[in-house]
Amino acid sequence: MFYWTLRFIIRNILLLWRRWEIVGLENLPVNGGLLIVSNHASNLDPLVVGCAITRKVHFMAKVELFKVPLLKTIITLLGAFPINREKSDRNAIRKALEILRSGQVVGIFPEGTRSKTGALQKAHIGAAMLAVKGDVPILPIALIGTRGFFNKITVKIGKPVYLPEIWAGRPGKAELEALSDTVMGKIEQLIIDK
């Protein structure tokens, strides 16, 4: 209830304050496990993605956010869970896979951190690995205009990337890097396309 109430309030704030626009919502699978990936240029990005999507999104969030008591309470109520970016965090991976396998949605920023310039950065392979291990499609989302205070925000939702059956085995690092690059390429194309 808290999630949907807060989402309703923030959606209306984004509409009035940032004149936001959502394009491609019809590409969102309505059920089943799903991994959402997006570019990351602003602290506002998780809120924007969560408000644009009509399914609850459980975000992986840096562990440092969970050290602030009030913030920890709020983001935990919103379904976020911590990840330690300094090492391979098996607890975070286990939690993400549990959510995906239960047919829910996990949100992740594959660049690992906010871009200081707004330009896309190289993706880490974690998102690709989660999609493969969870056997779920990846939904690329491009966020445009989230930097700054008064820019219009556009959310572009791409078509889901379904993993080839041959990946039911154990893809290596090269295959995961290729998938990561493919997904970031789709996000880049969404940004470029008018």
Q: What's the one-letter identity of residue 8?
A: F
Residue 143 confidence (pLDDT): 97
User: CB-based contacts of 159: which residues, under 8 Å, 6+ apart?
Assistant: 24, 27
Q: State the Cα–Cα distance between residues 94 and 61, nearest whole angstrom.
A: 14
pTM of the model: 0.93
**Contacts of 19 by beta carbon, 8 Å cutoff, 6+ apart:** 152, 153
Nearest partner of 108 among 6, 187, 163, judged by Cα: 187
**Residue 60: its pLDDT value, please?**
95
With 0-12 CB in 10 A as exposed, 13-18 as middle and 19+ as buried, what is 11? middle
- Per-residue pLDDT 10s for the chain (194 aa) are 899 999 999 999 999 999 999 999 999 999 999 999 999 999 999 999 999 999 999 999 999 999 999 999 999 999 999 999 887 889 999 999 999 999 999 999 999 889 988 899 999 999 999 999 999 999 999 999 999 889 999 999 999 999 876 566 678 899 899 999 999 999 999 999 96
Question: Which domains does the chain show, CATH number per domain?
Answer: 2-192 (3.40.1130.10)
Cα-flanking dihedrals φ and ψ of residue 37, to 5°?
Answer: -125, 145
